[in-house]
Amino acid sequence: MNRSIRIAALATFSAALSLPVFAQTVKVTPLGGIDGEFCPQDRALIFEDPNGTRVLYDPGRTVAGATDPRLGKIDIILVSHMHGDHAGNAHNKAPNSGTCEAPDMSVSAMPNSNAANIAVAKKSKIVTGSEMPPFFAAKLKANGGDPANSILARFGGSVTVNGIRIATVTAMHSNGLDPDYIGGDLGKAMKEAGIAGDVGLATGYVVRFSNGLVAYLSGDTGITADQELVVRNHYNAKLAVMNIGDGFTTGPAEAAYVINDLVKPASVIASHANEVGTVSGKVRPGSKTEAFIKAVKVPVHVPLSGKTMEFDGAGKCTAGC
């Protein structure tokens, strides 16, 4: 074979092998507070792999408990850290209760967490890093679930569940466990002293789906060197879910630096804005969400609750954006 024939044959071969897989999409559906909007408490996303596996990321307070009809089957739950707006110390009565500006968070999920309650009801695996797995194993056991469904993926390693490879990465944040999760005299004494339980460091995730899509889920974080060294250079993430809320995490300017200069994905989903990000589904002028979109060089997708977006293996949105 001469060189051009070899190249043509190689192209045909690789097209036959890799393109059909690459062209399959991961469906991302935000489970926020109000249908069609991006609201202050919104964190929860469902990722549906082309193989049918459904992954719930940071259920927080906008998933209306385990009976929320939007959940369907949940195979895997990811919890970046134990703060109440991520693990879910409380939640809404039902989707669309309250308003975007004043979300309903009237149902307590203590001492279990929304995440643990959903995992028990759905028989989901909970994959966490750091020292969170023993906490979730104990909550599963205490509520009639299987403690073996709490699985560890600590920094540097990964686990593969249902064909999806899950790794945790550093997040510069805190991860104190609210003493209400502990309860009893110990929990009461800790609360009075103003100290939290220790379940190790907060985390983010890098998830590789079966179509080749690699997604970085920042969790709550500041700017970290690992966003370049690990998330881009090692994992080569093509889609990022990036926190932009400021005060607690990177704000729009810092998050834009992370995306433009460190992670450099093909596209990004804004998250954790802690504001009314949209009105009637349109980005609110003067919002942090708008500032982030303007500062970022790649397409920014706003997670409108209930609106499914589809991403191919290269991190490009192919539908719903």
State the nearest-atom distance from the C-beta of 130 to Zn ion, in Å.
Answer: 13
State the nearest-atom distance from the C-beta of 202 to Zn ion, in Å.
Answer: 7
What is the pattern of x (binds Zn ion, CB under 5 A) and - over residues 178-217? Answer: ----------------------------------------
Stretch that binds Zn ion, among 35-43, 82-90, 93-101, 306-314 (CB under 5 A): 82-90
CA distance 254 to 296: 10
Q: Which is nearer to Zn ion, 50 or 60 (CB)?
A: 60
Stretch that binds Zn ion, among 31-39, 219-227, 233-241, 272-280 (CB under 5 A): 219-227
CA distance 299 to 121: 36
Residue showing tokens 């393109």: 19
CA distance 171 to 150: 21
Q: Which is nearer to Zn ion, 54 or 272 (CB)?
A: 272
What are the tokens at 73?
A: 């089957």
Residue number, nearest CB to Zn ion: 83
State the nearest-atom distance from the C-beta of 271 to Zn ion, in Å.
Answer: 12
Q: Compute CA 18 distance to the chain's CA centroid, rounded to the nearest angstrom.
A: 27
Q: Compute CA 281 distance to the chain's CA centroid, rounded to the nearest angstrom.
A: 21
Stretch that binds Zn ion, among 22-30, 79-87, 177-185, 265-273 (CB under 5 A): 79-87
State the nearest-atom distance from the C-beta of 147 to Zn ion, in Å.
Answer: 25
State the nearest-atom distance from the C-beta of 173 to Zn ion, in Å.
Answer: 6
Q: Which is nearer to Zn ion, 54 or 83 (CB)?
A: 83
Residue 58 lies near Zn ion (rule: CB under 5 A): no
State the nearest-atom distance from the C-beta of 118 to Zn ion, in Å.
Answer: 19
Q: Which is nearer to Zn ion, 83 or 208 (CB)?
A: 83
Inter-residue contact 88 to 63 (CB < 8 Å): yes
Site for Zn ion in 253-292 (CB under 5 A): none
State the nearest-atom distance from the C-beta of 86 to Zn ion, in Å.
Answer: 6
Residue 246 lies near Zn ion (rule: CB under 5 A): no
Residue 220 lies near Zn ion (rule: CB under 5 A): yes
Beta bridge partners of 154: none
In this chain, which of 43, 54, 83, 272 binds Zn ion, going by CB under 5 A? Answer: 83
Q: Which residues bind Zn ion (CB under 5 A)?
A: 83, 220
